[in-house]
Structure 1
Amino acid sequence: MASTTLTPPGAAPAPRATRAITAARLLPWLLLAPSAAVLLVVTGYPLVRMLWLSVHEYERAQLLGVPAPFVGLDNYTATLTDPRFWTVTARSFAFMVVCVVLTIVVGTLVALLLMKLGRGMRLVLSVGLLLAWAMPPLAAMLVWGWIFDTQYGVVNHLLTSLTSTDWMGHSWLVSPLSFFAVATLVVVWGAIPFVAFTLYAGFTQVPGEVLEAAHLDGANARQRFVDVQVPYVRTIYVVLIVLSMIWDLKVFTQIFVLQGIGGVKSQTSTLGVYIYEMGMAQGHYGAASAIAVVFTLVMLTISAYYVRVTIREETP
């Protein structure tokens, strides 16, 4: 029978035990190392490259091999003193606020509707939401562009049929106000499924006996929602709002495609499109990188609150 060596209390562990403990501590890091390396390369290099470009006067000439002169913070100074940058930033934040509010409100209503529907209708609605969520933005924009087409659009045809006014030939994208109304509709339509499914999952976790007790105490449907259901999913609402803010500030495809269909770029550009214009269209890669760095810092500031809330909830 093999003998077992016991380590006296207070004595140092045996070398074999020490190696086992060290291996157990290193194993999670070794398993994460490949993913961390890929993430570092895929994410780290573009960030470093963007920072390098932002402090150099990198124009189209540099693509031909001409060295880019170092300009320090000149690109940042030019960006922060450019009135158009602040106009585009204000426009982007206003667009984001409207989209986030509508997304959360409509997503909440859809989640509550999912709870009230029967199994069959819930399945039909869920499939419709999944189709809208799974559709790539570019493919969706082809459909929305046809719906609001000036000559053959479905919206103009329906308005002409329902009213005594001839709407055929009316452009919904020439005016900045109607342009962003269409853009808001498209963005909110694509964001509602994620919000609705997430809130539906949260609402189903609210204990039924708590809702029943509130009902017996005389609370109506609105009071039960505000005083019982919302507190249970408050963290989910925080996460959804923060994520929606980040996604709506990063909107590019919808705005870019709508501008190509008929929008006025100088009056409808958001930050994502503005950075693209400065870099790819005008060739000011240094200035575009400086704007992107400022934009990234804004996104990190918003993300920091999301990470803090997440860690707080996970901490026992």
Structure 2
Amino acid sequence: MTVHSQGAATSAPQDAPLKSAGLPPKAPAAPAGPSQPSPRGGRKQLPTGWLPYLLIAPAVLSLAVLLVYPLIKNVILSFQDINKIEFIQRKYPSAGFDNYTQLLGDSNFWTVVLRSFGFTLANVVLIMAIGSLIGLLLNKLGKKMRLVLSMALVMAWAMPIVASVQVFYWLFDEQFGVMNWVMRTAGFSGYEQHNWFETGLSTLTIVTVLVVWGSIPFVALNMYAALTTVGAELYEAARMDGANGWQTFWKVVFPQLKPFFLITTFLEVIWVFKAFTQVYAMNKGGPDRASEILPVFAFVEGQSQSHYGLAAAISVLTILILIVIMSFYFRLILKQEEEQ
């Protein structure tokens, strides 16, 4: 060790012993300072400035053009009194809240609202019950049979809505329908050219069968995917405690899959409540508008009756009803997340 005149001590050179041993000399120590991130394994700095906003700008612009702008125009239209004459003359007289007061005071509107709720409730209950049962069946089947059933579900799900409506219309056709032949073959009388679309209730019943048939694959396949996340040790523990199949599902499986049931039910409520194609393509909301639900009611008022302002008000009220339903389910979902 060498001592300088200022009194600082420095260590003797270490290169000579290393050279004599045939080892390479040590690299000089880096000066103390802030550590620099590694170019490969180091943590990269997140982009700052305008770059994140530029990256999401196309998606935000698309949403604004395709959703926000039409929604604003629709809300404005709902406060205007526009019928066929005003539409041709390009006049937009203001109606204030007249469209809304007319709807809220119309018994036909409330009949359609109640019909929409009943239609949605019946479909969602059937879809969730049957879809969950098929999902449980998929979890129990062997590999080959599971593949066959999954392919059948996917094909049913992928079938275009208008094509499936046409198939169901043929099945219940008055003259050449399969259902009339089945009922006659089973020994039931009165099914010679029976009109299955004679009433609004029977029409909505057929539409319900169609909607349930087309929606079951989504629930069943997602149910099977969710079941694969439940550990086998939970089933084994329930079996050792003497639980039967229903007790195992209700006490073991359901608590694990509660978020799945909440989200799936939430999505099904939205999809069924705003179902339009199935109802309108089946019988155009007939007979005598007895099978209309809110989306079909708005379309018929706007396109067939040329009450454009009134139809816009119906669509706005439909959106508000959906927002109320969504807020209820969002509260359930947030409560579930807080419990976890």
Length-normalised TM-score, structure 1:
0.89
Task: Provide the C-alpha distance between the structure 2 equivalents of 1:6 and 1:298, rounded to a whole number of angstroms.
Answer: 62
2:278 corresponds in structure 1 to 254
Q: CA deviation at 1:25?
A: 6.1
Tell whether the 8 Å contact from 2:120 to 2:269 is kept in structure 1 after alignment: yes
| Equivalent residue letter for 2:311 | A
Q: 1:35 aligns with which of 52, 59, 65?
A: 59
From 269, 278, 297, the equivalent of 1:274 is 297
Does residue 294 of the first structure (1) align with residue 317 of the second (2)? yes
Determine whether 1:264 maps to 2:287.
Answer: yes
- Residue 79 of structure 2 is matched in structure 1 by 55
Per-residue deviation, 1:200? 1.1
Report the CA distance between 1:23 and its aligned residue: 3.8
CA distance in 1, matches of 2:147, 2:187: 36
> Which deviates more from structure 2 when the two are superposed, residues 121-130 or residues 165-174?
165-174
Q: How far does residue 281 in structure 1 lie from its aligned partner after superposition? A: 0.5
Which whole-Å CA distance do the structure 2 matches of 1:309 and 1:37 have between them? 31
Alignment-mate amino acid for residue 263 of structure 2: V
Matched, 1:73 2:97: yes
- C-alpha deviations, 1:229-272, integer Å up to 9, x for none? 01111011011111111111111111112214x94142111111
Structure 2 portions without partners, runs of 5+: 1-27, 35-43
Q: Call closer, same or farther: CA 1:178–1:4 in 2, change over 3 Å.
A: farther
Distance of 2:223 and 2:84 partners within structure 1: 48
Q: Is the CA contact (8 Å cut-off) linking 2:286 and 2:292 kept in structure 1?
A: no
Report the Cα distance in structure 1 between the residues aligned to 2:223 and 2:201, rounded to whole angstroms. 31
The aligned residue for residue 265 of structure 2 is 241
Alignment of 1:1-316 (within 5 A): 23-24=47-48, 26-163=50-187, 165=189, 167-260=191-284, 263-307=286-330
What amino acid does structure 2 have at the position aligned with 1:173?
Answer: F
Change (3 A) 1:5 1:255: farther
- Per-residue CA distance 1:201-256 (angstroms, 9 max, x = gap): 11111111011111111111110000000111101101111111111111111111
Contact 1:279 / 1:287 at 8 angstroms: preserved in 2? yes
After superposition, the CA RMSD in angstroms is 2.4
Conserved? CA contact 1:152–1:168, under 8 Å: no
User: 2:15 maps to what in 1?
Assistant: none
1:168-191, Cα deviation, whole Å (9 max, x unpaired): 300111123322221110111111
CA contact (8 A) 2:78 2:310 kept: yes
CA contact (8 A) 1:259 1:265 kept: no
Report the Cα distance in structure 2 between the residues aligned to 1:69 and 1:305, rounded to whole angstroms. Answer: 37
Aligned length: 303
> 1 CA distance for matches of 2:329 and 2:58?
26
**Are the equivalent residues in 2 in contact too, given 1:144–1:186 (CA < 8 A)?**
yes
Counterparts of 1:311 and 1:176, CA distance in 2:
39
Change over 3 Å in CA distance of 1:218–1:22 after alignment to 2: closer
- Structure 1 residues 285 and 204 mapped into 2: Cα distance closer, same or farther (>3 Å)? same
Where does the alignment leave 5 or more consecutive residues of structure 1 unmatched?
8-19
